[in-house]
Structure formats: C-alpha cells, structure tokens
Amino acid sequence: MLIRCGLVGPNSAVASALLLVATACSSPGSDSSNAQDQCYDGYGTVLDQLDERWRYYALPFAELSQRGWGYGDDHVDTVRIRNVEWTFGPGVAFEIWLDDVTFYR
C-alpha cells in the first residue's frame, strides 16, 4: 500500500517537510500517561525540495520508518491508520498546498 500526494510550498521558507502516518497505539499498558506519550512515533519520511513547483510523491508504506522513540512495529499497520500529517521544524514559517492525497494498494 502507498500514499500519493501533490505538494507545493509557495512563498515558503521551508525546504522540506516530514510526512507522518500515525496509527492507533497498541502498546502494553497504553492507559497510563507515560505509555500514551510513547504512542505518537508515527511512520514517516522527509520530503525535500519544496518550492513553487508542484511535486508529486508516491510513497510506499514499506519505505516509511519511525523516528525511534516510541512504541511501534516493523511496518505500518494500514488497518490502524488514524491520521496523516505534514510537519515542519519548530518556529518555521510555512505555507503548503496539498492536492490529490490518495491511498493505493
């Protein structure tokens, strides 16, 4: 399975974004607040070269990885996806436009 999207960063100071695919947490003891904090280590990849040209990405879930600080598995469990997000560094001014966000098998 993969995610496809178009992305452009007009008038933006951002050179890259981090795409994250978050899944529902299935950690042991996930009711405690400490365990819940460990549940947000989504699977992702860096999307480089954001500028004023549209770029289209096709990202196989098998190529996404966690950042390494939370609970996880060795793959994205597509049944448990709860959100997809694009993030940037702290304090970075940005404007992005998204188009045609789709999932494929």
Tens of pLDDT, residue by residue over 21-58, are 777 766 555 455 555 566 777 888 888 767 788 888 88
Q: Which two tokens stand for residue 8?
A: 């452009």
Domain boundaries, the chain: 2-104
As a whole number of angstroms, the distance between CA 23 and CA 16 comes to: 23
Range list of β-strands (E), the chain: 2-8, 16-23, 43-48, 55-60, 65-66, 81-87, 97-104
As a whole number of angstroms, the distance between CA 35 and CA 82 comes to: 18
Q: Which residue type occupies 52? A: E
Residue position matching structure tokens 């100071």: 13
Tens of pLDDT, residue by residue over 44-98, are 888 876 778 888 888 888 888 887 777 767 778 788 788 888 887 777 777 888 8
2-104 CATH choice from 3.40.50.410, 2.60.120.430, 3.40.50.10380, 2.30.40.10: 2.60.120.430
